[in-house]
Structure 1
């Protein structure tokens, strides 16, 4: 059994933590998306923030940016094979959030 090492948890959270990275990865988990598709699918994120978060995810090798050589240029973002190893974690967090929301709703009805 592995011992808990908070440095590993901190490292993982530095890669996927924050307000937007989880959401970006959630939208990329199944299909590549163009920038504007992502922008439309994530309410309240600014263009500047989306660019910044995508660059960080790309630098961490979680997201791949592909530029298609056509006119007008087409840029797609996809989750990398390495990034796909996060999908079970994303799904587990999603499931936990759903259960937690149900608990909150039950508590508010009491």
Structure 2
């Protein structure tokens, strides 16, 4: 019974994805963008995202499609979640601002140094 539900769920997802691709193809073939049109960079920082939202249908779809760049050679990067004492978090945020870096990058560097010394 469970396997049947999984197969049916998979078929439903495939059908929904196929329907979505058909909608995108129809949009691409009927959009009011002529062959000589030039799409240029907008002065507004969110213009590209607005275009993606129009194509993909929602902000959530854009978020899923764009995602974050992988830190691994291929595929998605594993992620970890951790809790910090408030004072340590404040120090991390302050250091990140000073270095114009993301707190996650600082944590990755610190962990890499720790693991290199531990081996």
TM over 0.5: no
> Structure 1 or 2: larger strand share?
1
Interval containing the TM-score (normalised by the shorter chain): under 0.3
When normalised by structure 1's length, the TM-score is 0.23
Larger radius of gyration: 2
